[in-house]
Amino acid sequence: MDLRVTCRWMWINESMYSTVFAYSWGIAAPVWFASGLSFQIALMAVLGIVAKLRVPYAHTSMEFVRIRYGNIGHIVFIFLNLINNVFGCSAMVITAAQLVTGITGMHIVAATILIPAGVVVYTAVGGIKATFLTDFLHTAIALSIMIYLTLKVLTNEHVGGLGGLYDKLRANEDRVHVEGNYMGSLLTFKSYKAAIFGVVLKVCNLALVTMDTAFWQKSFASDVRSTVPGYDLASAAIIAVPWGIGTVIGLSARAIENTPVFVTYPEVMTAAQINSGMVMPYVIKSLFGGSAVIAILVLIFMDITSTVSSSLIAVSSIVSFDFYRTYINRDATDRQILTVSHAGVIGYGFVIAGWTLAMNYAGANGNWILYFLPVTTSSGIFPVIFTLLWSRQTREAAIISPLIGLAAGIAVWIGLSYSMFGEVSIASTSEQMPALYGSLTSLFTPAILSIIISFIRPQKFDFREFLRIDLIEDKSQPASSQASQLNGATSHNAEKPHTSTSKEPTQTIDITHPSRTSSLDDLIHPFSEYQLRNIKKWLKIAIAFLIVNILVTIIVWPLPLYRDYIFGRTFFKSWVTMSIFWQFFALFAVVIYPLFDGRHAIAKAIRGLSGDLRGKKEQ
């Protein structure tokens, strides 16, 4: 479980732009980047367990939205989820395309089309099983490359190890003055711009997790005993991605850029090169030659395929299950749903390629995307959380508040860009303050509006209504919904590469108007008392870990360092050493430990394959 979550959350932007921001703002930036990735996953562990308790039969987050708010609410949240997936996926593709173009010289149009096209082909052909099988390989290779590059750069003679890197950074202080940093130093944690970026990133990633059906599906599909450990391990492991490689390679770029070894010497990198994420490729090429950037291309491929394929699967599920089966063909068979799912994957690939091309020609880059995303994706966060946790949120509040929040956030973002910088352009909307206020407006306006609207016409929702979702199950299928859910797996999902052998149509009941033959008192929770106690125990663990995570990553770790202090030599060496240690912890947590944890299943599979091979030889 932790492997799948980490793989879904290990964007190419994290490794590439952590080096960009370390180069730009210093040693504080990778830590703010890391802290902006972690607590959201821990929160998802809590929401996943609550969903298991209250919506045991659900397959997607859209299902419990529809049963609570009806078709209009359902469509609104489908719209918000699609915005989240389209903009989030395009952020990865535009970053990867611009990096490939910068490294290889490939035309940006070719890179933009070929990158999603390859992922579409293997996702459409292999289905969700293909993504499961490749998640492990891609994550293992990506983490190994990150560790290798971090150590290789740090120990290079032009960098000089931990002490040499520190000495070079201190020697360059007269040449490099970072605006907003204490004494303009790269070696201080008191960095105003890095801290502002940290706030924006936290809002952005909170949206990308809670509004992404893929994370909900992982919770619904997993056993309750693996949901909390998986998400919480992933929330700790993901810190390693920006922290280690961002600190070492980003600061190494500053240390060697004024030496003849650097590829742009005697010039420094341009703003366009920096904002396109070229800091890491230039460092690798400078120190190890042009052939070494192949490792960067492999890293891009490993990251982009896993994350984009997960987005493709999530969107195809929305298109086939939440839209097609709900509004177009309620009697759809598995074969029809699978066909629509494949069409959704292909169509989504075209949308991503087209939107990314449009942004490229508009002058957007990965830096702009990081400020654009939270403004446009955050308005649904509180309404969807309230849907699961707060019985007082009304239908009107859930429908109106996110739409107004989205409009308000965009208005504040664009309005401040114009008022502060005199124009609305890629440059002005890439500035921090408009993005910060736009993001916070988009995040908190729906929360405030939802509470106000809900108390104007108060209603109380009975969460037992969610138990009616089991009525949409295909009763003609041999495997029952209850059995599958008790084992933590989805029994009927649009993603599932399964063709029904039955010619009978799926027996579907409109979950917005479920049968009233049974009162709420007659509805029985599928879990036994023992199972409910066990789930509630895991819920307490998840909440405790979330609290600890927030305290450590947002308060205890970064805030005491935000003072008038420049890292000393010993403290710097210890800091970088710990970041590298965390990389190895991540490798153990998401690659080595899953192999150990699944050793019995692996051995059983090997024995089965060996038996099949022996049987064929005997024949």
Neighbours of 69 (CB within 10 A): 24
* Contact status, residue 397 vs residue 453, Cβ threshold 8 Å: yes
Cis ω for the linkage preceding 116 (within 30 of 0): no
Q: SS3 for 181?
A: strand
Record the tokens describing residue 160, joined without a space: 């000089």
- Nearest-CA neighbor of 38 among 294, 231, 199? 231
Assigned CATH class of 2-186+199-364+544-612: mainly alpha
Alpha carbon 612 to chain centroid, angstroms: 39
Indicate the pTM of the whole model: 0.87
Q: Where are the domains of the chain?
A: 2-186+199-364+544-612, 378-460
E strands of 180-237, at which residues?
none
Q: Where are the alpha helices (DSSP H) in 55-107?
A: 61-104
Record the tokens describing residue 392, joined without a space: 């007082």
Strand partners, 188: 566
Q: Express each pLDDT in 35-78 by its tens digit.
A: 999 999 999 999 999 998 998 888 788 889 999 999 999 999 99
Q: Express each pLDDT in 542-551 by its tens digit.
A: 999 999 999 9
Contacts within 8 Å (CB) and 24+ apart, 123-126: 123/309, 123/312, 123/313, 123/345, 124/342, 124/345, 124/346, 126/497
Residue-level pLDDT at 602: 79
Alpha carbon 251 to chain centroid, angstroms: 26
Distance (Å, whole) CA 340 – CA 334: 10
Q: Where are the alpha helices (DSSP H) in 363-389?
A: 366-377, 381-389
Distance (Å, whole) CA 341 – CA 346: 9
Neighbours of 361 (CB within 10 A): 11
Distance (Å, whole) CA 424 – CA 401: 26
Residue-level pLDDT at 4: 64
Neighbours of 323 (CB within 10 A): 19
Residue-level pLDDT at 503: 35
Residue-level pLDDT at 131: 62
Q: Kindly give the parts of the chain with pLDDT less than 70.
A: 1-4, 7, 125-133, 470-518, 615-619
Residue-level pLDDT at 283: 97
